[in-house]
Amino acid sequence: IERTFSIIKPDAVRRNLIGKIIAKFEENGLRPVAMKKIHMTREQAEGFYAVHKERPFFGELVEQMIASPVVVQVLEGEGAILKNREIMGATNPANAAEGTIRKEFALSVGENSVHGSDAPETAAQEIKYFFSDDEIV
Ligand code: ATP
Ligand code: MG
C-alpha cells in the first residue's frame, strides 16, 4: 500500500472546496491518514518548491501558496501516487480531463487547487517535510 502527499491550495480553501476535494479522494480509494490546516511561511513554501526556484513562475507560485491557509494531507491507497495525479488532472486546467479536480475547480495554471507528489522519492520527502511519523494514523 502506497502513500502520497497532497496540498489543497489557497485558491481552493478560500472557495470552500475542502470537502468536495477530499470527497474526490475518498470516492477514488484514497484515504487521508494525516491532515492539517496550516498557513505556510515564506521559508516553508520556498523550501517546498526549491526544485522550481529558477523557473519564471517561482515568485508568483510562492506568493500564491502563502497568501492564505492550505490543507496538507497524506493519502494512502493502492498506487496512491499515480492515482492522485489522475484524480487531480493536468497542471493546466484547460488540459485537464473531465471529472478531475482541476477540470472542475482550478482557476488557472497557477491557481490550480491541488498539489500532489509526482514520484515515490518526492512523496517520501514531501510527507516528511510536513508530518512527523506520529501524525500519520
Ligand atoms: P504540483 O507539483 O503542484 O502537483 P504539477 O506537478 O502538475 O503540480 P509542476 O510543473 O510541478 O506541476 O509545477 C508546480 C506548480 O507550479 C503547478 O502546480 C502550478 O501551480 C505552478 N506552475 C507550473 N507551471 C506554471 C506556469 N507556467 N505558470 C504559473 N504557474 C505555474
Ligand atoms: Mg509537481
| Residues identified as active-site | 115
pLDDT, tens only, 58-87: 999 999 999 999 999 999 999 999 999 999
Model ipTM? 0.93
- Cell numbers standing for residue 74: 497524506
Distance (Å) from CA 21 to ligand 2 centroid: 18
Distance (Å) from CA 91 to ligand 2 centroid: 8
Q: Is the pTM of this model over 0.90?
A: yes
Ligand 1 shell residues, CB under 6 Å: 52, 57, 60-61, 91, 109-110, 112, 115-116, 118
CB neighbour list of residue 40: distance below 8 Å, 6 or more residues apart? 48, 65, 66, 70
Atom 24 of ligand 1 has which residue's CA nearest to it? 109
Locate the DSSP E strands across 46-134.
70-77, 114-116
